[in-house]
Structures are given as structure tokens and as C-alpha cells.
Structure 1
Amino acid sequence: MQHHHHDIPPGCPAHATHRLYGPEFGADPEGHYAHLRSLGPSATVDIAPDVQVELVTGYDDALSLLQHPELFVRDSRRWNALREGRVPQDSPALPMMGYRPNALFADGAAHARLRQAVTDSLATVNELQLARQVQQSADYLISVFSTRGQAELMADYAGPLPLLVFSDLFGCTREIGDRVIVGTTGIFEGTPGADEVLGGALAELIALKRSTPGPDLTTRLMLHPAGLTDEEVLHQLVTLLSGGTTPTAATIGTSTALYLSEDWQVGLPVEDAVAKTLWNYAPIANYAAHYPVQDVDLGGRILRENDPVLVSFAAANTDPKLSEHREQLSAKAHLAFGAGPHACPAKDPAFMIAVKAVETLSNRLPDIEMRVAFKELAWVPAPWSRSLVTLPVRFGPRTLRSAAQTTARAQSAEGAAAPRPAGSSPRPAAPAAGKQGLFSRFLAWTRGE
């Protein structure tokens, strides 16, 4: 039966759909979550124009849903509205919720197989080596803006840092790494054709690792006993990239802003700023679409079979009912990394990357300060992630060199002030006519070229 809006009296609940996107939502996410929580354990929201979902906002209810995979499955091919053609084909919800053959949208044995390959491969990442990769990526990015005395940390630092780390972990060549970064960034910015750029770069990477395996995540996924096809490897890499870069960038940005804010207690470790971010500003704010396999009663609300139910990690983490016993909970009891069979398989590395990124920044630029108060910073007006739009900072300008460059300079000084080798200037030159992308410039810098 179709409801015509003019039949519904104004002020009637059916009239009010709550928009989880746009400037009003971006200006006050907490206010929206508080209102939605007042409506019960879940509420109907618009996640994008003409796309309605049920949003679970209470901590206990969210945890219960995540821990009952037999009732709530992840395969979005079940989505009623999508099957019936009621979701606009150009909806921004489709790239986020549409089915892909990866662990995120799989259930049962299929999910277990793909997830095992991912967790086993991630388990082989050496923590000390990863810390060095993060430090090197951080040093490179800081070297690019350190001479300017000011920076916008979301674009200059928090955004690119995880992309450099992942291109490194995947064992990318310069050229493939450049395209992986362009493609991944483009997907999140909605750039047309970005999907194809990323898919093409990863297919090339997989072909390369077939002929020359290496000590990298791509090779480990390909050689895993689960026997993933090349297509499956590609889709797991996409999941790792999307799950590992944008949320990590958001975590680095918010943690840095908290750590530099006027209210931060001097002497508290960076770990505390990252933990506070994960609790109060969940980087993946509203996501994890589940589809009930039958009608389910959730605290008096009926969740209809195959209608999407999303989890508001942001609202659940800041549930006032939780604050009464939050002190007794483990510091890691937040839902920022999810819970249940689909919980993030890379919690520890993600936490470490964020901590190392904030520490390196404050060590290299000890006088760094924000140019705007924390409470005046703007948040991205999208439902999926809680991320700062910009993070403007200032500091005393200085020159930062890579270890390779420092060695090269020392050697050239010994050679009776030999002429400086081309490309060893402290700040990398802009790429000539778009030839060199971010990953190429980073690798050149680490090698003192």
C-alpha cells in the first residue's frame, strides 16, 4: 500500500524521516543520535536520498545484533528495496552497501574461509616493521610541509599516511602504488572511473605477484591454503584498503585534534587520545548493513525480513545507558571495530598506526598547535564515517630529511663539498606533468633520490 504524504497529518511520525546526511546532520551528529535513541532501540532513517534503513542506536542492542549471525546476515543481495528497483541507481548508498564478493558481504562457511585467509595473512605482518613503515611514511609527509610553517593535516598527513602504509604492505611497485592511491582516494570522493583505476592496478599487482612472489600481504593472501581465486584476492585487497585507509585517516585526524586541543591534559599519552576517539568519535559511524532472515522483534520494534538494518557504532558507543558502567568496561569494549564474526581483523595494527602517526607528528614538530579550537572543527556531513573536514595547524618552519638523504649529505660533505646530487633537496619537487604519484615520490625520498 502506498502512503501519499498529503494524507498524513503534519507532525505525525510517518511524516518525519530522519536524515543521516547533509549539513544539518554534519553540524550536530550527537544531537541526531540522542533524538534517535529517544525513539527506542532502533529508528527508521534516510541514509541517502530515497534510501531508508533501520538504524540500531543502543549499545546492548547493537552488540546483540552483531553477535547473532544466524538471525542477521550480511548478503546485501537480499535487500528488498534494491531487488524491487526502489533504490536509485546512482545512489551514494550503493557503493557502500551493494554486494561485493568479499568477507564483508559473506556469511557462514564462505565468510569463514575468506576471513581466515585475511586474518592469517595479517598475522604475518611484523609489528616492528609496520611501526617503521608508519614512521617513514609520517616523516616523508611531514618533510613535504615542514618548511611551510603551517599545514592542513587531513589532506597533508592523516589522509595520505594510511595509503602509503598499505601500498607498502601490499608490495606495490611505484607505478602500481600510485594508481592504487588515486583509485582508493577517488572511490571515497566519488570520482567517476575510480573503481576501474583501482581494479586495474590491483589486477596488475596480483599478476606481478604470481610471477614474482614477495614478503607482502598480496602474496600471502594468494598462497593461503584457502586457495583464493585471483578475483577473490582482488576483492579482499579492496576490503583491506577501504576498511584500513579512510577510517584510519579519520582516527589519526581526530586523535591529533584531541591531543592538540586546549582541553587535553598535558602528560596524558597519545594512546588515550586514540582510545577517546574510538569511543566518542567512532571513525566508522553508521555501517554494517545486516538483513534479518525473518521478522525480528527488537525491543518492541519489528525489523522486517530482508530490510537493511545498520548499526550506529557512533550512537552505541555514546549510549548514556553505557556511561553508568563504562568505567567497569575494558578500555577496548567500544564498538568502533565492530563485534562478533565480522569484527575488524586488524584492530591492533590499526590502533598502533594511529598512535605512531600522532606521536611522530608531535615529536617532529614539538611546537605544533591548532589554528582553530577543537569544538569549532567541522565534521564530514556523511553518515558512514566520522571524520574532520579539515585540521589546520601551525608550527615553526623546519627542514626534515630522510635517513637516506642525511647519509647522502654527509658523504657529499666528506667529498670536499661535492655538488649536491639532483633530487636530494629536503622537499620533494612536484611531479613532472603528473608522471610521479604520491607513492613514487615517497619511495624516491626514502632512497635519498
Structure 2
Amino acid sequence: MTLRYLPDAGKLYGPEFARDPQAIYAAMRAQHGAVAPAEIAPGVEAHLVIGYQAAIDVLTNAAGVWIKDARAWQARLPDTPEAAAMVGMLGYRVNVLFADGAEHARYRKVIADCFGMIQPHKLRDLVIDVSDSLIRRFAATGSADLAGDFARQIPLRVFNRLLGRPDADSSALISALSDMMEADGDVGARGTEAYGRYIGELIEAKYAARGDDLTSWFIDHPAGLSPEEVLQHLILILGAGFEPMASLISNTISRMVSDDRYYNSLSNGALSTYDALLEVVRAEPSMANYGPYFVSRPTEFHGTWIQPGELVLVSYAAANTEPCDVPEELRSDGGAYVGFGAGPHRCPATDPALLIAMTAIERLTSHLSDLELTVPREELAWRPGPFHRSLAHLPVRFTPIRPDQPGESPWSAQHPSSSTPSDPISQPKSDDYATSAPWSS
């Protein structure tokens, strides 16, 4: 696909964009307004929605022309490694992200029902267990890279257990998802292949022997998902639960330890972890540019003509931070920003996501209450990629704690081994699995 104004397209890849994406958004906004041409990889273009109202109009399908089926766009991609790498994130799959109408409603109900079976207090206990096991690895050293040692480990270990796989499998999954998310030519394609293989092995094991886990619930849901539909939804859930969650955790920690309003809150400050999380969702969302959309017919949208088969991405980061006449300190956006999307395709697992992130961060800061960055926040390095806003490293120092010191510590509670069966994560149930499910009533 070639946009007629490609020479003016803003590049959403490379070190310049990773270093200061807001400067790129500002330049695009000044030249093009609410919808701007963008290049998301060499030779791969998209319309980028950078205005807040325009983003709402797409996400809520205000004009009735927006669809999610990516196949027409995918057929027009150039035959290059860079384009192939985009397929992992944007290529059509039989899941809720790329479905419309009744099919979308069917898929979304499965997700809502299955996530609804997870008890919040069980999920919190699971996150505490995972968090403490990670903190024990570095707490006695006095320093850590909280991006790699903590934030990027939390969602994979939590979702591994929710889906029915042990912690031992998480290293391979981290590598596959990181390669896929960065969408860098052959590396992105390799990550996509490894990720699909990982999920395929999981599903094969669960079809052979069910468990008390999300995978089994998806298989047994009365909507009757096919094996391919189960596969594609688990790919989506784990992908959406990894990179955005990891970045939400690390971005929030980096703000808290570099801003006295939050740093003091580790003991007695005015702003909480929840405040910091919401500020990151607004001003620095983990998925900065995503929400792929297409039009069903030629459409003029906020001054830009869009044709069927042309990719449209929503820039949550640009839309949320669009300049307005109200000073930042007086804004009262509340939940009006679009960090979790909006409309029918809004993230269906917002509450579990915030619970996981908040629990992990509070567990970390309760054990290590004097965290500080080893470099100024403005000097932190960000990972390249068109979709995410993700720290490459989050180096911190703190007062070391030891297993034998008095008081509560990551070692003071008994934690079940990841190789032994954990407590059920769903509502208590009888021998008949379906009796406790929401679709059994």
C-alpha cells in the first residue's frame, strides 16, 4: 500500500522515534491535523489517528464504516522481511480483535465469561507469589534492572499459570514475544513463529487433559470455539497480557521513583500507585500505536480520504496528550482518555490488568521502599518499535535486604513452588466442571 503523501509520513521506528515520540506526534499534528500519514516499518504505511476526538470516532465506529478485517490490507503488503514482521501484530486472525458484528460478540462473551471465573483475591495471591519469587532474586544485591528482572517477568509468569503452563516455560516465551513486538524484519518473523508454536503446544496438552485454567475454560465454553479459534484467542490474550502489562509496570515504577509526589507515597505521600498507573495509561500508554482498523467504503475522515484496504492505527499516546486549553495541573480527564481503548473493542480485561500491575508494584515498594534510579529518567533508553512505549532497562539501587533479617521480607512467607499444583483460580466447584461456570446457570 502506498499513500499518496508518503514523502511526508512520520517514521514510527528507529532511535529518533524511540527517544522522543511526542516530538514526532507534534510535528505530524502540526502538518496534517487529526489524521496523519505514518510509516510503521520501511515500505509499510498507515494512517495514524492522533487527535482525541478522531480516536473516539474510530473506536466507537461513529460513522458506521470501520471494520476490523485485515485481509485486504494484508494482501497488498510488499514481499519484504519488514512487511512480514508486521503480520505478527496486524495480520488477520480468527479472534475478537479482527472480528465484527455477531462474530465479535460471540468471541467477546467467551473472553468475558472465562476471565470472570478468576477470583480477584486468588489473582492477587498469585501476583504476590510471583512478585516475591522475583524480588528474592535481587533483593540482597542492592541493585536491579526492574525492566528485565521484574516488570517483563511478572505478566508472563502470571499468565503462564493462568493458562496452565509452569514458570519453567517462560524464558522461551519472553524471547518469542519480545522479537514479535519489536517487529524487526527476520527477528519479528522468527518471534511470530516461535510464539505460535508455544501456544500450539499448550493447546495440544490441554485438549489431552483439562485443568483449572483459562485454556481449558476456552476449550469447554459452550460457544464451541474451534481449535483454531482457541489457538488464536490464546495468542491474542497472552500477547496483550505481556508487552502492555510489562511496560505499564516499568513505566509506572520509573515515574514513581523519579517524582516526589509518588516517591513520598511509598511512605506518606499524597499520590498512590493507582494514581501513577492511571497517569501512565493517559500520558505514556504501553501500546502507544495500535488498534488496527479499516474502512468498508471510501471515507473522508477528519479531512483525510481513506480507501478500503488501507491500514488505520489509533495513536493512544498522541490522542491522550493532544494539547488543549486546560493546563495539565487543572485537567480532570478522569477515565476520558483512551489508554485501554473505547467502544465495542475496549480491552475486556482492564480490571485484571490494573490489579496485576498495582499488586506487583505495591509488593515491590513494600519490600524495597527506598528505590531510586541510577540515572535521570530522561536518560533512560526506550526500546524501538512502532507499537509500544517500553523501557529497554530500568536500573535502580536500594538498601539491600537479606533472608535472615527481622520483619516482613520476600522470604518471610511460604510460597508454593511453580512446579507443584497451585490453588484453583476459579470459583469453588464440584466434580462437574461446568457447574461453577457462568454459562451453566
- Is the TM value for this pair above 0.5? yes
Tell me the equivalent position of 2:65. 71
Shift of 1:395: 1.1
220, 232, 242: which one pairs with 1:235?
232
Tell me the equivalent position of 2:220. 223
Q: Which amino acid aligns with 1:158?
A: A
Which structure 1 residue ranges, 5 or more long, are not aligned? 5-12, 409-423, 425-439
Change in 2 beyond 3 A, CA 1:208/1:178: farther
Change in 2 beyond 3 A, CA 1:14/1:203: closer
Tell me the equivalent position of 1:205. 202
Alignment of 1:22-421 (within 5 A): 22-38=14-30, 39-68=32-61, 70-79=64-73, 82-86=74-78, 88-91=80-83, 92-173=85-166, 179-188=172-181, 190=187, 193-265=190-262, 266=264, 267=269, 268-321=271-324, 323=326, 331-400=334-403
Distance 2:101 2:329 in 1: 32
CA contact (8 A) 1:258 1:264 kept: no
CA contact (8 A) 1:73 1:292 kept: yes
CA contact (8 A) 1:378 1:388 kept: yes
Q: Residue 144 of structure 2: SS of its match in structure 1?
A: strand
CA contact (8 A) 1:296 1:302 kept: yes
Larger radius of gyration: 1
Change in 2 beyond 3 A, CA 1:90/1:315: closer
Shift of 1:93: 2.1
Tell me the equivalent position of 2:434. none
Q: Which amino acid aligns with 1:338?
A: G
CA-based RMSD: 3.1
Shift of 1:184: 3.3
Distance 1:129 1:400 in 2: 26
Shift of 1:324: 6.6
For residues 61-117 of structure 1, give each alpha carbon's deviation from its aligned partner in whole angstroms, at most 9, with x where no partner exists. 1001111183111111021xx424535244332221111222111122222211211
Q: Residue 264 of structure 1: SS of its match in structure 2?
A: helix
For residues 393-436 of structure 1, give each alpha carbon's deviation from its aligned partner in whole angstroms, at most 9, with x where no partner exists. 0012223599997588xxxxxxxxxxxxxxx9xxxxxxxxxxxx
For residues 110-165 of structure 1, give each alpha carbon's deviation from its aligned partner in whole angstroms, at most 9, with x where no partner exists. 22211211111111111011111111111111111112111011110000111000
For residues 236-256 of structure 1, give each alpha carbon's deviation from its aligned partner in whole angstroms, at most 9, with x where no partner exists. 111001101100100000100
TM-score (norm. length: structure 2): 0.84
Distance 1:398 1:181 in 2: 28
Deviates more, 1:91-100 or 1:217-226: 91-100
CA contact (8 A) 1:293 1:305 kept: yes
Aligned residues: 407
Change in 2 beyond 3 A, CA 1:210/1:118: same
TM-score (norm. length: structure 1): 0.83
Change in 2 beyond 3 A, CA 1:170/1:371: same
Shift of 1:279: 0.5
Q: Does residue 21 of the first structure (1) align with residue 16 of the second (2)? A: no
Shift of 1:180: 4.2
Q: Which amino acid aligns with 1:16?
A: D
Shift of 1:16: 2.6
Distance 2:333 2:172 in 1: 40
For residues 208-246 of structure 1, give each alpha carbon's deviation from its aligned partner in whole angstroms, at most 9, with x where no partner exists. 333432221111111111101122111111100110110
Which structure 2 residue ranges, 5 or more long, are not aligned? 424-441
CA contact (8 A) 1:172 1:205 kept: yes
Distance 1:3 1:57 in 2: 17
Distance 1:391 1:87 in 2: 37
Deviates more, 1:297-306 or 1:223-232: 297-306
Q: Which amino acid aligns with 1:27?
A: R
